[in-house]
Copies of this chain bind each other. A is one copy, B any other.
Amino acid sequence: MSKSIFSNIDQGDMTDLDSKKITTLYIKGQKIFYPGQLPIGVYCMSSGIVKLSKLGENGKEQIVRFAKGGELLGIRALLAGRKYSTTSTALEDSMVCFINKRMFFKLSLKYPYISQKVLTSLSHLLEEAEERITSMAQRPVRERLAESLLFLSCLFKTGEAYCDDPSNGIISLTREDIASIVGTATETVIRILSEFKEDELIKIKGRKIVINDVPGLRKIISSYP
């Protein structure tokens, strides 16, 4: 249960919000929204992890980002007044509440800190996306995979994208999902994971991955001559 963006509103509004919001448990694999739908409100995640993905030209899935506890989901489409451009799928069982747009806009008008938070959050997402573009363009798959493993380990361990110690998080994703984060073929992911395992950078238990050597992975990420 992460802290909600709405936790600073006053008692009356909170009661009102609580009575109107719709909370749903999405179990692993369930989808929350689909591309093409017009948003009629916004989702807020209280717990869990959701992947946001697009379909490429060839029908291949591309994971573009994740949403986690405490974050708003589907806010981009709502604000731009456009249809969802991504599919959102729960990667773990996730508690998600839905707030209709009338209520959301009312609150964000009354509490400027909400708009402020949304603005900085979008700004961060944009920076992260641009960082990712650079990484995709310039780093080889091996480095991008190492990078993603550290990120994912934090995400599954702490629910945050960055953490001090990414070791011992249990990454529970299919190789196909990992490939569609890194932007490569599933087989390539499998091969490099085997190398990482060979080099004792990670441990593989069944289809779960655990990070074993954080400095080792970090070294791979910044390995330019």
Kindly state whether residue A89 has any CB partner on chain B within 8 Å.
no
Task: Chain B residues near A58: list those with CB within 8 A.
Answer: 138, 224
Which A residues are within 8 Å of any B CB, using their own CB? 54, 56-58, 60, 62, 64-65, 76-77, 79-82, 85-86, 115, 118-120, 122-127, 129-139, 143, 180, 182-184, 221-222, 224
Q: Which residue of B lies closest to A60 (CB)?
A: B138
Q: A79-B119, A79-B120, A80-B120 are in contact. Are A133 and B57 (CB under 8 A)?
A: no
Q: Chain B residues near A137: list those with CB within 8 A.
A: 56, 62, 136, 180, 182-184
Copies in the complex: 2
Q: Which residues of chain B are near A134, meaning CB under 8 Å?
A: 54, 56, 62, 64
- Please determine whether A54 and B131 come into contact, CB atoms closer than 8 angstroms: yes
Report how far A124 CA is from B76 CA in the complex, Å.
8
How long is the Cα–Cα vector from A132 to B129 in the complex, in angstroms? 9
Chain B residue, CB-CB nearest to A129: B129
